[in-house]
Structure 1
Amino acid sequence: MSLTELSDESAPESRSGPAPGTALRPPRRASPLAALLLRLHFYAGVLIAPFLVVAALTGLAYTVTPQLDQLLYGDQLTAATVDDQPRPLAEQVIAARTAHPDGDLVAVAPGTGDQTTRVVFALEELGDKQHTVYVDPYTGEVRGQLTTWFGSTPATTWLDDLHRNLHLGDLGRHYSEIAASWLWVLALGGIILWWRRRQVGRGLAKHLLVPDLAAGKGVRRTRGWHATTGIWLTVGLLFLAATGLTWSRFAGANFGAGLDALDARRPTLSTTLDGAPSVGGGEHQHGGASSAAAADPATFDEVLAVARDAGLSGPVEISPGAPGTAWAVAQTDNRWPVRFDQVAVDPDTNRVAARNDYADWSLLAKLSALGVQAHMGLLFGLVNQILLAALAVGLLCVIVWGYRMWWQRRPTRTDRRALVGTPPDRGGLRGLPLWAVLLGVPVIAAVGWALPWFGVPLVGFLVIDVVVAALTRRRLDRRRDPAPAAG
């Protein structure tokens, strides 16, 4: 959810006052915990919302990348005709090498269905990018060449970089980590505040899941749309926050350390023929210097046949190994149900030297892999894309309604005019019981350590709030006790 005073229970619902004949109820005083949560929700929403807007807009753009790729690169990605029998991989690799004589051959992804075969070459000047040559698997014709990043087209790479770091490198990654670190706080905090407003009874579910359309114009109606939409989005927003944090710069590193401590990382495929784990394992290393630059094209057909016999169906990627090592073959089907099995094939004996089956991964490794694919809109295809787009649009609406509430709560009296509404009252922290402080401080400190871009801004909010409170008290004291005039 997001931005502003969802639960300011002492504030009037509208400027027009209660309807005639309606009994006035004394305002219910918020508990210290609710007051503290309200103030945190308000300030975090106002200050973090711009980061969320950028993340939502760039994420929304990324959801259409499959269609954009087909529009821009359809000639390279799609075969002209579909035949029952593709040409041997050796012919396709030779055709790709002829069209691209430079660089090390690091991977071949045989085309399936109407998809072209991708032959990937690494060049030192490209860094972590590659040149991918697209070959029609049924005719052997080279359909084109693109500079790719781990299989992503230039357009997808550009939008991915925009969403992750705004094309600012490591500096830009801070923005997305701030957004992910606070999105779950705002969502859960908004739910708690909205729940407290609802009357217990028959209308509870209705008020939670449907906006109060009977409310008049003004902040009450805006708040209904803001909160109810947030309720519908909560599960999706929590998912985006959690999966986004797993590959963020600082929180992601802590998450990786946790996986290491639990021995829950994705297993590594051994490609050395003595059984020892190889450097980099079965993860395909585009641009690796150890790739077999002069691999015999005919070996790709032999290795693929061994992998198929070993049960690797669907789309796969073949990574040739250095002399004396096995070749890695990995399934690359990211659609549910995913297929991520891997085998290492000895190219000299055409036997499986090692394998890494998805079924043997730890639960955390499986969830991490599935979460990444769903976050990228790949796991459930078009449905996944639509859900992500709906989450992005919904989050933008919630933010706009939140800022609108901030504006609608502005004082309008002649002697108290202001551009925006005043923040919730202070004092929630001082009113907390001792047990809540003793329990809450260590928990918040632990979360702040695990999520640095949650902890650092939180400390900043507290420091600024304390300083502003001190300055306000000093100004009020001066008004009450003006200095005596000089005699």
Structure 2
Amino acid sequence: MSAGLDTRPGAPVPPPERPPLFRGLQGLVTRIHFYAGLFVGPFLLVAALTGLLYTLSPPIERWMYADALTAPVSGPELPLSRQVEAAVATQPGLPVTEIRPSREPGATTRVSFDADLPESYSRTVFVDPYTAQVRATLDTYAEWLPARGVIDNLHRSLLLGAPGQVYTELAASWLAVLTLSGLVVQVTRRVRRRRERLLPRTGGSSRSRLRSWHGAVGVWASVGFLFLAATGLTWSQFAGANVGALRTALDWTTPSVSSTLPAAGGDAAAPVTGAATAPVAPRAVPAVAQRVLDAARADGLSGPVELTPGEPGEAWTVQQTVRSWPSQQDSVAVAPATGTITDRLAFADWPVAAKLARWGIDAHMGLLFGTVNLVALAALASAVVVLVVWGYRMWWLRRPTRPDGSRGLAGPPGSRERPSPAAVALVGLAAVAAGLVLPVLGVSLILFLLVDALVAARRDRQTGEPAGLTRPGRGRARPRASG
């Protein structure tokens, strides 16, 4: 007989208590965190380990390519035209795509060529700025040297090209889901003292200590994880395209100077004709490069810069390349025939959203704050590794069957709690909304909800328990009192 219930014959039967609208939502979020950690963990481990390797790429580059990157200071630097001329002589017939004058004393000048290599790759000649001697010729990836290019592609796509970028989107998007669901689990779980949500326990069983450390480290690293996920998605295949389209629609794209050359009389709308439309002959590139650089320096563009030749009839562009803090990204457009500045763009005039995107990407790449940035990235990558390992260890300790014959727990936290339709609908709507921007996440989350519903239905058939009667943390359902 249940306490407080009138069991006399004819006594009115009180109506059953209405279950909460989102009953089981916490258990559903917990199961998402548990199973996602199991199945996405290998992808996160690969992303974290390759990201950790990426943080070591700057010293690896300096060690492997010291001869290409440096030159003994032996007097004043020669004119840029002499340096470019020496590089062009080694690559006859190849068009110049970029010129990076020596950044500092003792650094070489880079001259890149279009050598019909895979996308983003260039043939780069490294020239001693003091003697105009070629120090090395390498096939570089964007601004990175070969070793860093391999590490970058390994982290981004597992060296598989476009198909491999699906792994990036899967890892980055689920890193965000695991972080947010982990915060929910950590904040809502029962603890003896509130500080245990932020500080790990030192006592208790092995599994309870692991769970405490797992939760505490996850909370402290959560902001960094969300940052890595958000910025990492910009390089993914599907989500990256959607993010790019959204930035374009909101006018958040990175601005650039106009390469259009004004016609005679200064009318920018008039068509450009005559010699200005002719391509720069390879033998004239060194002299044009010197003219363009002198014009940019005279206009106030200081520090390390890159020169990019324009198409026939277009201006050359010169842009500062300091991506550390404070960033120096001013740029100018220069008419190659006359050395006249035709357009200017200061980094201070960039839209706020474009600046934030620039800083976010540079921070993700370890460029914004130098060594401190790389150390922070290494710490976050290490945190991902230990959290995944701890997660698998906790799963192993709670596995249902063990070699000694003892039995662990029957399932993940919250596995005995059937979510209400409203709770499932809420998570389903979130999955659909996420799928509009993050297709891989949306599809995989919807698949999880379907599998979770099938597993719950199968469990109900096996146990014979009506759905929804089991409470979290209890091994059996508590039957309602009858009249």
TM class by shorter chain equals 0.7 to 0.9
Paired with 2:114 and 2:159, the residues of 1 have a C-alpha distance of 22
Q: Deviations over 1:250-288 (max 9, x none)?
A: 11111111111111111132112134799xxxxxxxxxx
Q: Deviations over 1:76-111 (max 9, x none)?
A: 01122265x311001101111222324111111000
| Residue 156 of structure 1, aligned match among 148, 163, 166 | 148
Q: Which residue of 2 aligns with 1:73?
A: 65
Q: Which residue of 1 aligns with 2:306?
A: 317
Q: Which residue of 1 aligns with 2:42?
A: 50
Secondary structure of 1:221 counterpart: helix
Gaps of 5+ in 2: 1-21, 263-267, 272-278, 465-483
Paired with 1:277 and 1:313, the residues of 2 have a C-alpha distance of 32
Amino acid at match of 2:324: R
What is the deviation of 1:176?
1.2
Secondary structure of 1:264 counterpart: coil
- Note if 1:447 corresponds to 2:434: yes
Q: Which residue of 1 aligns with 2:25?
A: 33
Contact 2:424 2:449 in 1 (8 A): no
Contact 2:292 2:339 in 1 (8 A): yes
Q: Deviations over 1:304-352 (max 9, x none)?
A: 1111122211110111223432111111111111111111001223221
Secondary structure of 1:124 counterpart: coil
Q: Deviations over 1:367-401 (max 9, x none)?
A: 11111111111111111111111111111111111
Q: Which residue of 1 aligns with 2:131?
A: 139
Normalising by structure 1, we get a TM-score of 0.82
What is the deviation of 1:245?
0.7
Q: How does 1:374-389 map to 2 (within 5 A)?
A: 374-389=363-378
Q: How does 1:234-253 map to 2 (within 5 A)?
A: 234-253=222-241
Amino acid at match of 1:103: L
- Note if 1:103 corresponds to 2:103: no
- Note if 1:471 corresponds to 2:458: yes
TM-aligned CA distance change 1:291 to 1:182, over 3 Å: farther
Q: Which residue of 2 aligns with 1:395?
A: 384
TM-aligned CA distance change 1:72 to 1:391, over 3 Å: same
- Note if 1:232 corresponds to 2:220: yes
TM-aligned CA distance change 1:325 to 1:411, over 3 Å: closer
Determine what percentage of the aligned residue pairs are the same residue.
Answer: 46
Q: How does 1:414-429 map to 2 (within 5 A)?
A: 422-426=411-415
Contact 2:402 2:408 in 1 (8 A): no
What is the deviation of 1:199?
5.2
What is the deviation of 1:466?
2.4
Q: Which residue of 2 aligns with 1:91?
A: 82
Paired with 2:315 and 2:351, the residues of 1 have a C-alpha distance of 25
Greater displacement, 249-258 / 460-469: 460-469
TM-aligned CA distance change 1:129 to 1:470, over 3 Å: same
Contact 2:175 2:225 in 1 (8 A): yes
TM-aligned CA distance change 1:467 to 1:34, over 3 Å: closer
Paired with 1:291 and 1:391, the residues of 2 have a C-alpha distance of 48
Q: Which residue of 1 aligns with 2:54?
A: 62
| Residue 112 of structure 1, aligned match among 91, 100, 103 | 103
Q: Which residue of 1 aligns with 2:330?
A: 341
TM-aligned CA distance change 1:82 to 1:277, over 3 Å: farther
Amino acid at match of 1:338: S
Amino acid at match of 1:160: D
What is the deviation of 1:32?
2.1
What is the deviation of 1:48?
1.0
Paired with 1:297 and 1:348, the residues of 2 have a C-alpha distance of 12
Secondary structure of 2:257 counterpart: coil
Gaps of 5+ in 1: 1-29, 279-289, 478-487
Paired with 1:469 and 1:217, the residues of 2 have a C-alpha distance of 30
TM-aligned CA distance change 1:276 to 1:198, over 3 Å: farther
Paired with 2:162 and 2:456, the residues of 1 have a C-alpha distance of 35
Q: Which residue of 2 aligns with 1:266?
A: 254
Secondary structure of 1:131 counterpart: strand
Paired with 2:433 and 2:116, the residues of 1 have a C-alpha distance of 42
Contact 1:130 1:149 in 2 (8 A): yes
What is the deviation of 1:174?
0.8
Secondary structure of 2:419 counterpart: coil
Paired with 2:290 and 2:337, the residues of 1 have a C-alpha distance of 13
- Would you say how many aligned residue pairs link Structure 1 and Structure 2? 431
Contact 1:269 1:343 in 2 (8 A): yes
Secondary structure of 2:65 counterpart: helix
What is the deviation of 1:441?
4.4
What is the deviation of 1:424?
3.3
Secondary structure of 1:171 counterpart: coil
TM-aligned CA distance change 1:127 to 1:39, over 3 Å: closer
Secondary structure of 1:303 counterpart: helix
Paired with 1:474 and 1:421, the residues of 2 have a C-alpha distance of 16
Greater displacement, 399-408 / 296-305: 296-305
Paired with 1:449 and 1:137, the residues of 2 have a C-alpha distance of 51
TM-aligned CA distance change 1:126 to 1:225, over 3 Å: closer
